[in-house]
Amino acid sequence: MRRGKVVSSRRRRGHLLPEILFEFPGENLSVRHALAQLRHELSSLALSADDLGSIEIVLGEVLNNVVEHAYCEGASGSIHVSCVPSVHVLRFKVEDQGVMLPFEELPEGELPSFDRPLAALPEGGFGWYLVRNLACDLVYQRREHRNILAFSIPVEGCA
Amino acid sequence: MEFSCKETSDVLIVKVDAPRIDAAAAISFKQNMREITGKSGISHVVLDLSEVGFIDSSGLGAIVSVMKLMGGTKRLDLAALTPTVEKVFRLTRMDSIFTIYAQSAEVEKIYQAG
């Protein structure tokens, strides 16, 4: 397994804590490792277990999505993640060089309907719903063959 | 992916001995569960998630898929959801689809009480 690494963490003006930067290959196991690293990096912020759970859920869905859709059909590449901790919020930016989102826009992320027989229950379609439920200020841009997704996750503590 | 199974005459308790059911583990989870539930003649299966600290939408989809594969003749319940796993089930309202026990031991007690 190729492991990602923390590229740097630099202190930015106006922010209480350094920006955390990650770069890793767009593969499922690398995503898993990156999430563990992010959790470790965030441990100094004294966030609640509930907030850490939300962060991992959102990042997991966003990053899996890049692996499954942006880097599908033989395409591969790396994923860049930036996390800027601020007061009561973590601001994230995720970049990849894969295929753009269909219609160049974020999916609605509505919860699939359960009003159907057991055999027809949905097995997917929960990812964007979870992201939209737990994150805010989602902005997607396609710029110079790159996908850039920015979003914020509110947290209780003063990060 | 590792599992530990405990079978009584009434219920098969399958404990997932892994910290996460994520996109990297979903296929292996599904295959293993299909094998385990296919081999056993017990019609009531309880999935013990006490060791699982994290699940994503792929893992959630894998659990739904296992339940569907078991069809109308077998039953799949869940037990011992950790906080983040519980959150994913609650937000997606999947907690309304499954019967969820606080601990897998509860199920055994129900059968013992007869």
Q: Write out pLDDT tens, residues B10-65.
A: 999 999 999 999 999 999 999 999 999 999 889 999 999 999 999 999 999 999 99
- Sheet containing strand B44-48, edge to edge, reads B3-7, B12-16, B44-48, B75-79, B100-101
CATH class of A5-158: alpha beta
CA distance A101 to A105: 6
- Burial (0-12, 13-18, 19+ Cβ within 10 Å), A146: middle
Spatial separation of the C-alpha atoms in residues A94 and A59, rounded to whole Å: 9
| Chain A interface, best mutation among B74, B92, B95, by max A CB count within 10 A | B92
Beta-carbon separation of A54 and B87 below 8 A: yes
The pLDDT assigned to A15 comes to 54
A119 interface with B at CB cutoff 8 Å: yes
Amino acid at B58: S
Q: Would you call B57 and A127 a contact, using CB atoms and an 8 Å cutoff?
A: yes
How high is the pLDDT of residue A16? 61
Q: Which residues of B touch A57 (CB under 8 A)?
A: 56, 84, 87-88
pLDDT of res. A157? 66
**Chain A residues touching B89 at Cβ < 8 A:** none
Domain ranges of chain A: 5-158
At A38, which amino acid appears?
L
> Which residue on chain A is closest to B85 by alpha carbon?
A53
Percentages helix, strand, coil for chain B (3-state, rounded to 5) are: 45, 25, 35
Distance CA A70, CA A99 (A): 4
User: Which residues of chain B are within 8 Å of residue A31 when distances are taken between CB atoms?
Assistant: 22-24
For chain B, which domains are there?
Answer: 3-109 (3.30.750.24)
How much is the pLDDT for A159? 45
Say if B73 is an interface residue toward chain A (CB within 8 Å).
Answer: no
List, for residues A35-86, the tens digit of each pLDDT value: 999 999 998 888 999 999 999 999 999 999 999 999 987 778 999 999 999 8
> Which residue in A49, A111, A123 is closest to B83 by CB distance?
A49
Helical ranges in chain A per DSSP H: 28-42, 49-65, 127-134
On whether any CB of chain A is under 8 Å from the CB of B20, the answer is: yes
CB A110 within 8 A of CB A129: yes
Tell me whether residues A130 and B92 touch, CB distance under 8 A. Answer: yes
| pLDDT at position A143 over 50 | yes
Q: Which residues contact A114 (CB under 8 A, 6 or more apart)?
A: A121, A122, B93, B96, B97
Q: State the average pLDDT for chain A.
A: 88
B-chain residues near A124 (CB < 8 A)? 57, 61
User: Quick check: A49 contacting B, CB < 8 Å?
Assistant: yes
pLDDT tens for each residue of A118-136: 888 888 889 999 999 999 9
Q: How many CB atoms lie within 10 A of CB A5?
A: 12
CA nearest A50: which of B86, B99, B114? B86
Report which DSSP code applies to B14. Answer: E
